[in-house]
Amino acid sequence: MPGWWDSAVVYEIYPRSFQDSNGDGVGDLPGIASRLPYLEWLGVDAVWLAPIYASPLADFGYDVSDHTAVAPEYGTLADLDALLEDAHGRGIRVLLDLVVSHTSIEHPWFRDRPDFYVWADGPEPPNNWIASFGGPAWSRDPRSGRLYLHSFYPEQPDLDWRNPELREAMAGVVRFWRERGVDGFRVDAVDRMVKDLALRDDPVTSEPFPLPLHADLTGLDLIHSRDAPEIGVALGTLREAAGEAPLIGEVYLPVERVIPYLDSFDAVFGFELLHAEWDAEQLAAAIVRSQSAGAIAWVTSNHDFPRVATRWGERNARAAAVLLLTLGGSAFVYMGEEIGMADGPGGDPPLDRFDRDRCRHPMQWESEPDGGFSTGEPWLPLVDPEVRSVADQRDEPDSILSLFRNLIAVRREIDGQPERLDAPAGVLAFRRGEHLIAINTADRPAPLPLAGELLLESVAGALQPDGDGRRLAANAAVVLRAG
Ligand code: GLC
Ligand code: CA
């Protein structure tokens, strides 16, 4: 079903780190609202808010203790209503994060509705399933003495989507937010919703999984601990409750296995691109494979993985922006990427349990040491506001921020599925309708055998005359209009 999200630019906000409004060092909803003029200026179609719900923060909000309450440190339901109204007035849609495969262990359901969870009895775990962040996926509940399943941290017991009453309860959550005016959902860890009913072991394999996994998980064929064939009923419940609102799925599986999810969801993230090396052939292969599945939401960074400048190198960050924003499909831009932020230091344990805070440092609005993020002590230090900030880059035509803004504007004119074109080694070139896009992934210039008028370049001088033809500078990218 085609809709506004099909080619939308969605800006991911990690609420803790975007903008603090009350000096407690933690970002919040009024802070987000105060930055809507910026997002409107940037030109994004929608924002995705990582979880804002009540949570004991064992996994920073991905452990939900009340699905229909806003965490007090982020604000109130009234703040969310105000944010929705303001965003909608600016033509910006708002997606919430729907955490469906587990709750917090402190969710009242865990005590009041044990039938909503997955249990086993006996002295040992019933199988060899491993949690995403390592260690067994089973822990003992001290109160009942039983073992409960948790695909992530022990504080995140897995829900049982085979239970029709659980399905109805979660459908109610979706309807609650829809009625409040939320425009759609990014759905968390969808591949963990339904597991093997017989709880069979994941078999041992020598085939590598094409996406990075915790070391404890490598060597296992992850076929029973997730992605059970009966997933359709669970997905159908969400689809029906969401109505027309888009559902974008986080399905952390190889491309072939995401296809069934697209029967009910509007798009799934293309994680093979995020994890590809910055190399024309590898990028092209990941793109072609992902597209073969269907509707892909492109993403090159998010709150879980190293940022682009860290993973693909600062010198490639601009060309990577061109790639993300010129592929057909929706594009998810993680906050801070538009000013070229790199990862910062990891957070302190026990809060940063999996070293994921490196990519969650506060947004850098101003060039002062506090980055304009908070008047108080930020929950995680700023990385380098003196080096990069929105204030410094906004009126600077050659900044990466200006590049993002120009790309978002130019992409509205680009239409049609990408078709790969012949290009010299190291250059990824494709055509979309009358537009030609060329990305030099190499550290040396390359001849560019494509004719066309220059519409956008990742950096001034990306396209240079070369004898009778032209060449593309090292690490640079261009968008051309075919003559
Ligand atoms: C998803 C989220 C991640 C979270 C996990 C468990 O992968 O993106 O941040 O830890 O699900 O909810
Ligand atoms: Ca705050």
Ligand in nearest proximity to the CA of 332:
1
Determine the Cα angle at 270 with ends 170 and 405, to 5°: 100
The tokens of 299 are what? Answer: 């993403």
Q: Average pLDDT for residues 188-214, to the nearest whole number?
A: 97
How far is residue 15's CA from residue 25's CA, in Å, rounded to a whole number?
12
The percent helix, strand, coil of the chain (3-state, each to 5) is 30, 20, 50
Reply yes or no on whether the pLDDT at 1 is more than 60.
no
Each residue's pLDDT tens digit, 417-465: 899 999 999 999 999 999 999 999 999 999 999 999 999 999 999 999 9
Pocket test for ligand 1, best of 67, 188, 301, 358 (most atoms within 8 A of CB): 188
Each residue's pLDDT tens digit, 128-165: 999 999 999 999 999 999 999 999 999 999 999 999 99
Q: Is the dihedral of CA 6, 84, 186, 233 positive or negative?
A: negative
The answer to whether the CB of 472 falls within 8 A of the CB of 446 is yes
Q: How many angstroms separate the alpha carbon of residue 88 from the centre of ligand 2?
A: 23
Reply yes or no on whether the pLDDT at 323 is more than 60.
yes
Q: SS3 of 6, please?
A: helix
* 63 CA closest ligand 1 atom index: 12
Residue closest via CA to ligand 1's atom 7 equals 189
Reply yes or no on whether the pLDDT at 2 is more than 80.
no
Ligand in nearest proximity to the CA of 374:
2
Pocket test for ligand 1, best of 12, 55, 59 (most atoms within 8 A of CB): 59
Q: pTM for this one?
A: 0.98
Reply yes or no on whether the pLDDT at 222 is more than 70.
yes
Q: How many angstroms separate the alpha carbon of residue 26 from the centre of ligand 2?
A: 4
* 99 CA closest ligand 1 atom index: 12
Q: How many angstroms separate the alpha carbon of residue 375 from the centre of ligand 1?
A: 29
SS3 labels along 138-169: EEECCCCCCEEECCCCCCCCEECCCCHHHHHH
How far is residue 156's CA from residue 353's CA, in Å, rounded to a whole number?
14
Reply yes or no on whether the pLDDT at 12 is more than 90.
yes
CA atoms within 13 A on the CB side of 286: 24
pLDDT number for residue 27: 98
pLDDT number for residue 459: 98
The answer to whether the CB of 150 falls within 8 A of the CB of 53 is no
The answer to whether the CB of 180 falls within 8 A of the CB of 84 is yes
* 304 CA closest ligand 1 atom index: 9
Q: SS3 of 53, please?
A: strand
Would strands 119-120 and 138-140 be described as parallel, antiparallel, or unpaired?
unpaired
Q: Is the dihedral of CA 266, 264, 104, 113 positive or negative?
A: positive
* 101 CA closest ligand 1 atom index: 12
Any idea which residues carry the catalytic annotation?
Answer: 188, 244
The DSSP string of 205-255 is: -SSPPSS---GGGTTB--SSSS--TTHHHHHHHHHHHHTTS-EEE---S-G
Maximum separation of any 2 CA atoms in the chain, in Å: 78
Q: How many angstroms separate the alpha carbon of residue 20 from the centre of ligand 1?
A: 23
Residue with tokens 């994921």: 356
Q: Which of 68, 30, 34 is nearest to 51 (CA)?
A: 68
Q: List phi, psi (to 5°) of 141.
A: -80, 115
Q: 179 has which bridge partners?
A: none
* H or E segment to which residue 175 belongs: helix 164-179
Ligand in nearest proximity to the CA of 377:
2
CA atoms within 13 A on the CB side of 316: 23
pLDDT number for residue 235: 98
The answer to whether the CB of 67 falls within 8 A of the CB of 171 is no
List pocket residues of ligand 1, CB cut-off 6 Å: 59, 62, 99, 152, 188-189, 250, 303-304
Q: Average pLDDT for residues 205-211, to the nearest whole number?
A: 94
How far is residue 362's CA from residue 192's CA, in Å, rounded to a whole number?
30
Q: Average pLDDT for residues 238-264, to the nearest whole number?
A: 97
What is the average pLDDT score of the chain?
97
Reply yes or no on whether the pLDDT at 349 is more than 70.
yes
Each residue's pLDDT tens digit, 372-392: 999 999 999 999 999 999 999
Q: SS3 of 423, please?
A: coil
Residue closest via CA to ligand 1's atom 4 equals 62
Q: How many angstroms separate the alpha carbon of residue 336 from the centre of ligand 2?
A: 19
Residue with tokens 């020598």: 206
How far is residue 439's CA from residue 423's CA, in Å, rounded to a whole number?
10
Percent of the chain scored above 70 by pLDDT? 100
Q: Is the dihedral of CA 22, 27, 28, 29 positive or negative?
A: positive
Q: List phi, psi (to 5°) of 256.
A: -55, -30
